Each structure stands twice: as structure tokens, then as C-alpha cells.
Amino acid sequence: MPASASQPGAPPSAPRIPSVRDLHGTAENDDYAWMRDHDDPALREYLAAERAYYDAHAAHLADLTGRLAAESAGRVPDRADNSVGWPLSGFIYRTRAPEGRENLQFLRSRSGESAEQLLLDENIVGAATGYVDVGVREPSPSSVGGSSRF
């Protein structure tokens, strides 16, 4: 499949297959539209060639990769780590990195009370895929008015 497979060490080259599609009345050229079909054997073959190229050219970094992964895992807190709380509409909001977990929890408690409500647990959200990236944690206007419903 890759045009450059005969040249050792050369990166694979994705074939350009002309395709035109209409997007809101505008004709758009997309020579890589064939890659949208994830079940296409040609796409799987091309991706396998890309992976083989990467593996061959990154092999010398295996030791570094292992050390970086170990260092990253070592930064997961061994105890719960809480942020400083911030007040909003009678509640104190905070984030917590639970012990042994990478992702944060978003919590709130009524001012002067110790009981906390868990609003969002990124560890649960990311459990299915192993990844989550929440950019902003902000209570909705309907929840800051004192309602205990979420």
C-alpha cells in the first residue's frame, strides 16, 4: 500500500484519492476521505505501515520512554490532595486528587459544614477509555442557587 515501502527507512506515504463532497453548498476537495472508513483494509494496512515505521525509528528511545512513564506514574499522589476552596452562593467548591488516582474530583460543601457533595469524578468519566480532559469545572447556574439536586 505505501508508495515508499520499497525504500528502507522511508516513511509510508498515504495515497491521495481525489474526492469531492458538498458541505453546505460548497464543494470541498478531500484527498484523504478514504481514511474515514475505519473498516477499510487499505486504511488498516497504511496504519500498520505507519506504526512499523514509528516503532523502527523510535526503538532507540525505549529506555527513555520507560523512565518517563515510571516518573509520570510516580507523580500520582499517594494521599488525597485538595485544592483551596472557593466560595460561591453559600457553597465552598474545591477539587481533590484522590489517593492513587490521576484525575480530579469536583466537590462542594455548604459554608461552615464538613459534609461534601461529589459533583464530578473524572476518574469515573475516564474509566471507559482510560483518558479524560476536563478543561473547566464550573457549577451551572441552576445548581448554585442552593439546590441539592444535580
The three three-digit cell numbers of residue 137, written as one number: 469545572
Least confident of 45-49, 70-74, 91-95, 118-122: 70-74
- Strands 105-110 vs 116-121: parallel, antiparallel or unpaired: antiparallel
Of 88, 86, 94, 83, residue with least CA distance to 146: 88
pLDDT at residue 60, as a whole number:
93
Across the chain, what does the average pLDDT equal? 86
- Ordered by start, the domain boundaries in the chain are 20-74, 78-150
- Check residues 2 and 113 and name the one with the higher pLDDT: 113
pLDDT above 80 for 71: yes
pLDDT in tens, 76-122: 667 778 889 999 989 999 999 888 888 899 999 998 888 999 999 99
Whether residue 10 contacts residue 56, with contact meaning beta carbons closer than 8 Å, is answered with no
- The pLDDT-based confidence of 35 (bands split at 50, 70, 90) is very high
| Residue written as grid cell 461552615 | 112
Mean pLDDT over 27-49 rounds to 95
